[in-house]
Structure 1
């Protein structure tokens, strides 16, 4: 079985890159094909991998630039990857991984986080939502073209794998997929985190600073509460978001793995305000034994145990509306039961999502489908 791995890009340390790294651990001899790769911006483990990039690598030096150049340059760049020599192609991402050149007889498996957000949910981007007039018309033209090419490319994979039931249904709806879609939850590397008995007094957000992440909502709530808040991350809206924060809010970025583990372990609780397709960060907080205060929809429904009667058997408090008042109320509810959360229970819960289980599930799925694929080929030849 000659297998290649494909990932949208390796330009930051986020959930997609964690999945790609687990693919490498499942198939360590397989080369990785991607749009751009900057070793200093992503996980250091990739430095030992056989990574093939596109010509866009010489232009896009950051994740933000790579995203801005995706249409049309990212599409053209990924089309330059020729993978016709491979029997199996295992890809992960949302947008450009599926544009590589493939052998028509190859088995193609797509671990898709969600349908490409700009094509199928453009209002989640501030640039689109705030656009008017000619700029909006230009955006609409691009979105229409993206839907056409994204839909066409999505018909090539033989199998899709989804993160959650919600993303599974989203893939089926957007791409009109008829085959059943397997669900394999993304991983968290529990061993990267530790539990402390004496957390400090701050609340924590770890997120890209972008419109749909709702970090501005958390800042508004904590501006009113006055409680210490640490925000780890960077992104397109960083300047705008930082400008609205009061002195009780501390921004951090570029942390090492150990520094990030320290920040998680020492927080009172982790704040997760967005509707996320999945969300690795709440599980990272759990791996550090810390409870989560989350907007109760999307991926957290698959990864968190909300408080009902017994906080010691829960990992999170949910709030129902993405409003400042609802988040503040959730923080107040947390304070009333804070001492009842069990950090050992929360850590054990995170272990059920550990990357070792994910790696084994992916390996078994690929081998099973490849075996079936070879048998089907043999029957066709006969």
Structure 2
């Protein structure tokens, strides 16, 4: 069976790129088609893959340019890709992988993280939410075009796969798919992590620096509580966030897998302040035997075991509001209770790469 993989873009290090890696490991001979690829900006494992980019590669020198030039250039670039001669095409997508034109008769499966945010949930972007007058009018027209294109492109997909029940419901509402949508939770790379007996006095946050990630909330909370926070990541808000941070907060980036694993393994706790569709990083913390302080919404409801529901097997302590006060109350309470590292590791093992590959392969085999 001849297989191709399409992933939106390879310009960052995020959970979607980790899923794309896992899919590629399941089908190692499959080329990966993508909008643009910068080896220095994403995971090094992609250097060993057959990556085929669109002509937008020449414009997308970095993630900032990729986003700002996507409409209309990126959209047109993905629509210019035409795939022929494949038996199966697997999309790893939120936005533009769906726009590639694929030969009729090809089986098409889309592992879809959520419907394209800008098209279906533009209010999640501050730049849209804060726009007014003629600027809002322009944005509304762009959003309408993107929604129409996205909806039409989705009709070529035979089967969607969702990450969680919540994202499954979003996919149904947006795309009205032809077939039932199974749920296959993304995997955590367990082999990267181990449990350490040396716990140090710092908290850890690993994230891209984008508004919805709420890194600013964590910074404001730690500015107030004075505890040591290490933040790993990069993104469009880097300079702003560094400017907000007090002396008790440090930033790191471009870490090796081993360096990052050590930070996970030795931290007092992992901070997860955002509303995330899924969230791999809390599971990475659990894989290292470390507990999570998480906002009580989104994917953590599927992956974490909250302390208030099961103290014996707990893997996380939840807070209910995205506010400095709520987060700091949770941190204070967190420091008064105990978590069992082996229970957290066991929770992460429920989301192994082996399990993900098996479920995905079994599903694909069932539809042939």
Partner of 1:327: 327
> 1:1-382, aligned counterparts within 5 Å?
1-177=1-177, 179-308=179-308, 311-337=311-337, 340-370=338-368
* Cα pair 1:32 1:52 within 8 Å, conserved: yes
Question: CA 1:366 to 1:64, structure 2 compared with 1: closer, same or farther past 3 Å?
Answer: farther
* Cα pair 2:159 2:177 within 8 Å, conserved: no
| C-alpha separation in 1, matches of 2:237 and 2:123 | 15
* Cα pair 1:98 1:153 within 8 Å, conserved: yes
Question: How many pairs does the alignment contain?
Answer: 368
| C-alpha separation in 1, matches of 2:253 and 2:131 | 29
* 1:259 Cα offset (Å): 1.1
| C-alpha separation in 1, matches of 2:279 and 2:61 | 25
| C-alpha separation in 2, matches of 1:311 and 1:10 | 40
| C-alpha separation in 2, matches of 1:136 and 1:128 | 7
| C-alpha separation in 2, matches of 1:36 and 1:246 | 36
| C-alpha separation in 1, matches of 2:266 and 2:140 | 45
* 1:49 Cα offset (Å): 1.2
Runs of at least 5 residues in structure 2 that lack an aligned partner in the other structure = none
Partner of 1:377: none
* 1:234 Cα offset (Å): 1.1
* Cα pair 1:26 1:360 within 8 Å, conserved: no
| C-alpha separation in 1, matches of 2:268 and 2:137 | 46
* 1:134 Cα offset (Å): 2.2
Deviates more, 1:352-361 or 1:182-191: 352-361
| C-alpha separation in 2, matches of 1:163 and 1:46 | 22
| C-alpha separation in 2, matches of 1:66 and 1:32 | 18
* 1:67 Cα offset (Å): 2.1
> SS at the partner of 1:336?
coil
| C-alpha separation in 2, matches of 1:153 and 1:309 | 42
> SS at the partner of 1:91?
strand
| C-alpha separation in 2, matches of 1:352 and 1:316 | 16
* Cα pair 1:172 1:178 within 8 Å, conserved: no
RMSD: 1.3
* 1:122 Cα offset (Å): 1.2
| C-alpha separation in 2, matches of 1:308 and 1:365 | 35
* Cα pair 1:305 1:315 within 8 Å, conserved: yes
Q: What TM-score does the superposition give when structure 1 sets the normalisation length?
A: 0.94
* Cα pair 2:158 2:178 within 8 Å, conserved: no
| C-alpha separation in 1, matches of 2:307 and 2:232 | 26
Runs of at least 5 residues in structure 1 that lack an aligned partner in the other structure = 371-382
Partner of 1:374: none
